[in-house]
A = this chain, B = another copy of it.
Amino acid sequence: MFNISASYTDLYQLTMAQVYFKTKPNSTAVFDYYFRNNPFKGGYTIFAGLENILNIIESLRFTDADVEYLKTHDFEPEFLEYLRDFRFNGSIFSTFEGDIVFPNRPILQVEGSIMEVQIVETVLLNMLNFQTLIATKANRIRHSAGDKVLLDMGLRRAHATGGYYASRAAAIGGFDSTSNVKSAEDFNIPSSGTMAHSFIQSYVDELEAFRDFAKIRSKNCVLLVDTYNTLKSGMPNAIKVAKEMEDRGARLFGVRLDSGDLAYLAKRTRKMLDDNGLHYVKIVASNQLDEYVIKSLNEQNAPIDVFGVGTNLVTGKPDAALDGVYKLSEYNGEPRIKLSENIIKISLPSKKQVYRMIDQNGMFYGADVIGLASEEKIAQMFHPFDANKSLDLQPFKHEPLLNEVMASGKRTIQKRTVAEIAEYAKNRLALLPDEYKRFQNPHIYKISLSAALKSKRDELIKEHKF
């Protein structure tokens, strides 16, 4: 739906690009995209947003209006001409969208002229950070919900048009459907919806409201039962209408609880339905749900069939952002490093490959090793900072995680639908042992370095030492 032009960027990308353009226009660079912490204090992260980024970067242009605007900002005419003709002609090596990823390893590498790789930084971080956050949140909720149905209904509280991408990421993380029509339409996600309190209020009588709704919407009819009083008014009226639907050969799909103690109300509601032979009518629950509330409801055996999740899903609460960064690792073929007083913030030099260790049962062993892209089989991996910790990698199958997805500005992998990406995420998650998935003190997935990468990094640290 959204047409993103190349001026959807930070001004400093352009001021830096102009300096490169004037002083070293033929230089090349490699940048790594990675993040530093799993969101939500969790043990894993689901990578999302790649398809959007490939589409956006493949067709990224500065519009005439963009160039006119930039004329007012001290840019020189030749550089503005460069921007007018700007095409991204670089390459991207990436983890597949939907894969399970971990902190401090490259998720994606961008290579090209230093101007072009700098100009795409902002939109790349903007899309990948957010969708990865939301796909991960969605998957935590899926983890709690088990095989119950999950409905995204967060658009009204989402961060403006960010909600469009939130619904996409939620589907990748394991949500079954969305209330967001535009996202459903564009990304081919199942859509669903019930009714709002205003519908009931527009009638003098709740029963009359239910009747009209059920008549017009005989399929997938869900009645919202808490406008006046769930057990004394909403449920008796819903049961009457369900029986009337039966007389017409139709079936009420469900009732929705949107306030009060959901565990208590769901049990009472289930009993009222069952006592009236309405075993097939489902219970939909909503109201400030998240992975913890849903876990608690399931532990209380609340007979809820569908969870509707809004604000906490689409805003990625409480984290609000993934701390993804984009760091220069190679310039004109030479390794580059960013130092920091905080050792964990030191970047990794050179073009790299990441391998996932697969054990004899085909499961993730719990370790990714980062090596130089030029390395052959890596025999041993080393803790990034603790010289005493290493692991023999001989027993494992090594799965390379960074694959070419764009070359010379054109995508080199087939488009994947959201459904395909969601299925891939599900299959990958099935290979991750449960200890990494729990909410409390999850097991820490190891990210380590090959001997060659480690020594190259340590050399560069020494060179820059003060």
Interface residues of A (CB under 8 A from B): 1-5, 7-16, 18-20, 22-23, 27, 29, 31, 65-66, 69-70, 73-74, 114, 118, 121-122, 125-127, 129-131, 153, 155-166, 179-182, 184-185, 191-199, 201-202, 212-213, 216-217, 219-220, 227-229, 232-233, 259-260, 311, 315-318, 320-324, 326-328, 331, 336-342, 345, 464, 466
Closest B residue to A62 by CB, please name it.
B181
CA distance A66 to B180 in the complex (A): 12
* In the complex with contacts A259-B340, A260-B341, A320-B316, A199-B16 CB distance below 8 A: yes
CA distance A179 to B156 in the complex (A): 27
Q: Tell me which residues across on chain B come within 8 A of A158, comparing CB atoms.
A: 126, 130, 159, 162, 321
Contact of A10 among B125, B181, B201 (CB under 8 A): B181
Q: Tell me which residues across on chain B come within 8 A of A16, comparing CB atoms.
A: 195-196, 198-199, 213
Shortest beta-carbon distance from A12 to chain B in Å: 3
Closest B residue to A345 by CB, please name it.
B259
- The 27 listed contacts between A and B (C-beta, < 8 Å) are A2-B3, A8-B164, A8-B182, A10-B155, A11-B191, A11-B193, A15-B193, A18-B216, A19-B199, A19-B217, A29-B198, A70-B181, A74-B220, A118-B198, A126-B155, A158-B321, A159-B159, A160-B162, A161-B165, A162-B162, A201-B338, A202-B336, A227-B339, A229-B339, A315-B315, A316-B320, A318-B318
CA distance A159 to B127 in the complex (A): 8
* In the complex with contacts A23-B216, A181-B8, A338-B197, A328-B202 CB distance below 8 A: yes
B331:A202 contact, CB within 8 angstroms = yes
Q: How many copies of this chain are found per oligomer?
A: 2
A160:B130 contact, CB within 8 angstroms = yes
Contact of A160 among B5, B12, B23, B165 (CB under 8 A): B165
Q: Tell me which residues across on chain B come within 8 A of A127, comparing CB atoms.
A: 160
Contact of A122 among B20, B69, B155 (CB under 8 A): B155
CA distance A12 to B73 in the complex (A): 46
Q: Tell me which residues across on chain B come within 8 A of A31, comparing CB atoms.
A: 198
A321:B328 contact, CB within 8 angstroms = no
Which 10 A-B pairs rank lowest in CB-CB distance, beginning with the nearest? Answer: A162-B162, A159-B162, A11-B193, A12-B193, A159-B159, A315-B320, A125-B156, A198-B328, A160-B165, A10-B179
CA distance A175 to B349 in the complex (A): 37
B179:A12 contact, CB within 8 angstroms = yes
Contact of A202 among B5, B114, B125, B194 (CB under 8 A): B114
Contact of A217 among B18, B66, B192 (CB under 8 A): B18
Shortest beta-carbon distance from A156 to chain B in Å: 4
Closest B residue to A49 by CB, please name it.
B160
A12:B162 contact, CB within 8 angstroms = no
CA distance A316 to B7 in the complex (A): 24
